[in-house]
C-alpha cells in the first residue's frame, strides 16, 4: 500500500500542494501580458530614430518571465554598441496606455546617452594551440582603427567556434576581455581560448538494406 494511503495527513498535504500548484498556474496564465505599442526616443536619439521602423515592427511582449521593456532596452543598446558607442547608456521607462484590452498595453520612453564612440586598437588571442593567433585574427572582419562594432565581434566568435568545431574541438570556449581607454576612445580586446578536448569519430555503424558499399566508403572517408 502506498505511504500516502497509509497516512491520511500526508495525503491531505499532497492534495493541498497539488491544488495550490493548479491555482498558481491558472493565475500566471491569466495574468495580463505586457505588450509594447508605442516607443519614443529621447536624448542622443539620432541613431535610434534611424532604426525606428525596426523597433516598431518588433512584437515585444512579456514571455516566460522575460520583460518586454528589458528586451527593448537591450536591443536599443546593442544598436549603439554596434556603432562604436560601447558605453552607451540606455534606460526604458514604461507607461500604461488606456483602452479596452485584456493585455497591458505600454508606451515606452527610451532615454539614451551615447557617450564616446570607440575604435578598436588591438585584438589579441591567448591560450590557443591548434590555430595560430594570425589564423584566428583572420576570422574577425573588424580591423584595427575601425569603429568598435560588437556585432562584428559576435560574428567573429561564431566563426571561431565553427572553425574549431570542424576540427573536433566542439567544446571550445572563447572568453572576450575588453579594456576601454576613455582618453583615446579606443578598445583593446583580448580573447582567451579554452580549446577543450579534441573529439574524434571512432566507429560509424550503418543499418538498413539501402546502404551500398559505395555510400559506406564515401561516408566513412568524409568523417575519418
What are 57-109's pLDDT values in tens digits? Answer: 877 776 544 588 898 999 999 999 999 999 999 999 998 887 656 667 889 99
Q: Is residue 202 part of a domain?
A: no
Q: Do 156 and 90 reside in the same domain of the chain?
A: no
Identify the domain boundary among 113, 128, 151. Answer: 113
Q: Is residue 49 part of a domain?
A: yes
Helix axes 68-81, 150-165, angle to 10 degrees: 90
Q: Do 24 and 37 reside in the same domain of the chain?
A: no
Q: Do 65 and 44 reside in the same domain of the chain?
A: yes
**Full pLDDT tens readout for the chain, 224 residues:** 555 455 666 556 655 666 556 554 444 444 567 788 899 999 999 999 999 998 888 777 765 445 888 989 999 999 999 999 999 999 999 988 876 566 678 899 999 999 999 999 999 999 999 999 999 999 999 999 999 999 999 999 999 999 999 999 999 999 999 999 999 999 999 999 999 999 987 666 666 656 566 655 655 554 44
Domain CATH number, residue 49:
3.10.20.310
Q: Do 8 and 62 reside in the same domain of the chain?
A: no
Q: H-helix or E-strand containing 117?
A: none
pTM for the complete prediction?
0.73
Identify the domain boundary among 113, 145, 176. Answer: 113
Q: Do 78 and 95 reside in the same domain of the chain?
A: yes
Report angle CA 35, 105, 20 to the nearest 5 degrees. Answer: 70
Q: Do 95 and 137 reside in the same domain of the chain?
A: no
Q: Do 92 and 125 reside in the same domain of the chain?
A: no
Domain count, the chain: 3
Write out the three cell numbers for 152: 562584428
Q: Is residue 159 part of a domain?
A: yes
Check residue 171 and give its pLDDT.
96
Q: Is residue 204 part of a domain?
A: no
Write out the three cell numbers for 105: 498595453
CA 95 to chain centre: 27
Q: Do 20 and 50 reside in the same domain of the chain?
A: no
Q: Is residue 216 part of a domain?
A: no
Q: H-helix or E-strand containing 161?
A: helix 150-165
Report how far residue 121's alpha carbon sits from residue 144's, in angstroms, rounded to the nearest whole number: 5
Range of the domain at 132: 119-194
Strands 104-113 and 89-96: antiparallel
Q: Is residue 57 part of a domain?
A: yes
Amino acid at each position: 500500500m502506498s505511504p500516502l494511503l497509509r497516512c491520511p495527513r500526508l495525503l491531505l498535504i499532497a492534495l493541498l500542494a497539488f491544488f495550490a500548484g493548479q491555482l498558481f498556474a491558472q493565475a500566471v496564465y491569466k495574468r495580463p501580458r505586457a505588450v509594447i505599442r508605442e516607443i519614443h526616443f529621447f536624448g542622443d536619439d539620432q541613431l535610434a530614430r534611424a532604426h525606428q521602423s525596426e523597433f516598431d515592427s518588433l512584437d515585444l511582449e512579456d514571455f516566460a518571465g522575460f520583460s518586454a521593456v528589458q528586451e527593448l532596452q537591450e536591443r536599443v543598446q546593442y544598436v549603439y554598441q554596434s556603432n562604436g558607442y560601447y558605453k552607451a547608456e540606455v534606460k526604458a521607462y514604461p507607461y500604461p496606455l488606456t483602452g479596452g484590452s485584456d493585455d497591458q498595453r505600454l508606451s515606452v520612453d527610451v532615454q539614451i546617452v551615447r557617450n564616446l564612440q570607440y575604435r578598436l586598437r588591438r585584438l589579441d588571442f591567448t591560450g590557443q594551440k591548434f590555430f595560430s593567433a594570425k589564423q584566428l585574427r583572420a576570422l574577425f572582419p573588424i580591423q584595427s582603427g575601425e569603429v568598435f562594432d560588437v556585432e562584428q565581434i559576435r560574428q567573429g566568435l561564431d566563426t571561431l567556434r565553427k572553425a574549431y568545431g570542424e576540427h573536433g574541438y566542439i567544446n571550445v570556449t572563447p572568453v572576450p576581455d575588453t579594456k576601454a581607454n576613455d582618453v583615446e576612445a579606443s578598445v583593446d580586446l583580448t580573447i582567451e581560448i579554452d580549446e577543450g578536448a579534441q573529439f574524434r569519430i571512432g566507429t560509424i555503424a550503418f543499418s538498413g538494406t539501402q546502404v551500398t558499399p559505395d555510400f559506406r566508403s564515401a561516408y566513412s572517408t568524409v568523417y575519418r
